[in-house]
Structure 1
């Protein structure tokens, strides 16, 4: 598979990878054709699994290569990591503050961002879309980084990141389509809205790849930026959403550790 991917340009690689991750978002959303409801413990565990994948990907696929790359290019590694990582978190905080959205299981009066008259379904989709911005960006930056021809960025590592992001996108697609279906939305509309939350990933992925190809001097910052943005999403949204039911906390915690372990194995094995 890696040999096949290497035939294409970094931008095309990023596009193919993020189309794959979008496809798994759609696969998760397609569950709505078979059921209205998934066991809450299972859904919480899947969100916990997604959090574990993103934490591991943030370090092994983004932060650690960014620090190593900063050292190789003569930058101050700890300063580059700090600036990039915190910038990613600040960017996501501003996006979270401005973009209207509604987290799973909350009432309309608990929506965040600029107040609008948009429907609940639209706000739910935007909440998951917010997750997917840093995910697509991370994949794009990872593939773009390979073109820098530095030992810290490998095609195997970029592929591992895309696989991990794809795995955790499955529950995110379901997390949009199933609540919409339970509220009376048709199966097809629930599916279309669920999968649409992943549309932003190919856009962000191509942008990330193009950006680092033309601005290689900021590549270490871009990797750390993507890591900071992903950690913000995990701490702000995925972990709290997965642990709302106290009885499920132990199961969700183990699912989070399983997600972390699988992403770690993928990255270490392929990278």
Structure 2
């Protein structure tokens, strides 16, 4: 792990964020490749993977983003937490707007329950857009943390950025599965299901590079940028991931998987960055 952190320490924040986010894209493709090995969608497994992914995203939001945002803020008392609070609200509102205007359909929902502006797009496209929306804040989180670490601000480090990338990479495996298998269930070919599944993560390298570049050159915005990414991820988890995992009759399994994912990300963040 030390060698990996030392390697990324030699790179610019943009290149570091790009490499890590390309890896998270790869793990999404690994998850999506499950369509070549399974012939049908196992709803119990799907709900468990959604819960697990939600737990990792929630823990990453708290330990990798919100806490560093508070630590690097100046002032005391309420003034110290003010940037984190404002950034979190703006980040959540950003995803709220995407949710209202971007046409999409959540995995366990009927086609009549699609959200966003009305469109004749096929259900497969709407499902892919739903997962793509999940991946925007994940890429931003990686980029913003790399930019913060490169700027040398308290509470951010290259180690924390690498660990965050590892956590997102882990949860992207079930996320890839969660998009390719439903597409296969709709009658799409295995190859097309895989392509749609892995392409849902193409926004991660893009948003990671944008996030790293922006915060590195606008250092005063770093606490806000970190909490912005956290707010966006938390909104996705509460508004989309958790409801999707609880839609069927496997609520206990999904909840336990959420807790497991949260604990794994918490241990990674605290254990590997101290």
Question: Which residue matches 1:210?
Answer: 213
Rounded to whole Å, the distance in 2 between the matches of 1:148 and 1:73 is 22
Flag structure 1 segments of 5+ consecutive residues without an equivalent: none
Give the unaligned 5+ runs of structure 2: none
**Counterpart position of 2:260:** 258
Rounded to whole Å, the distance in 2 between the matches of 1:127 and 1:51 is 14
What's the counterpart of residue 85 of structure 1?
88
Aligned partner of 2:269 in structure 1 is: 267
- Output the CA distance in 2 between the equivalents of 1:200 and 1:74: 37
In the superposition, the TM-score normalised over structure 1's length comes to 0.96
Partner SS state of residue 81, structure 2:
helix
Distance of 1:72 and 1:140 partners within structure 2: 26
218 and 75 in structure 1: CA distance in 2 versus 1, 3 angstrom threshold: farther
Correspondences of 1:14-163 after superposition (within 5 Å): 14-71=17-74, 76-163=79-166
1:194 is aligned to 197
Report runs of 4+ in structure 1 exceeding 3 Å deviation: 72-75
Residues 83-122 of structure 1: per-residue CA shift (max 9 Å, x gap)? 1000000000001101000111222221110111111111
Secondary structure in structure 1 of the residue aligned to 2:73: helix
Distance 2:118 2:76 in 1: 45
CA contact (8 A) 2:49 2:178 kept: no
Q: Which residue of 1 aligns with 2:11?
A: 8
Q: Deviations for 1:121-161, whole angstroms, at most 9, x for unmatched residues?
A: 11110000000000000010011110121231011111110
**Cα distance between partner residues in 1 of 2:53 and 2:35:** 19
State the superposition RMSD in angstroms. 1.5
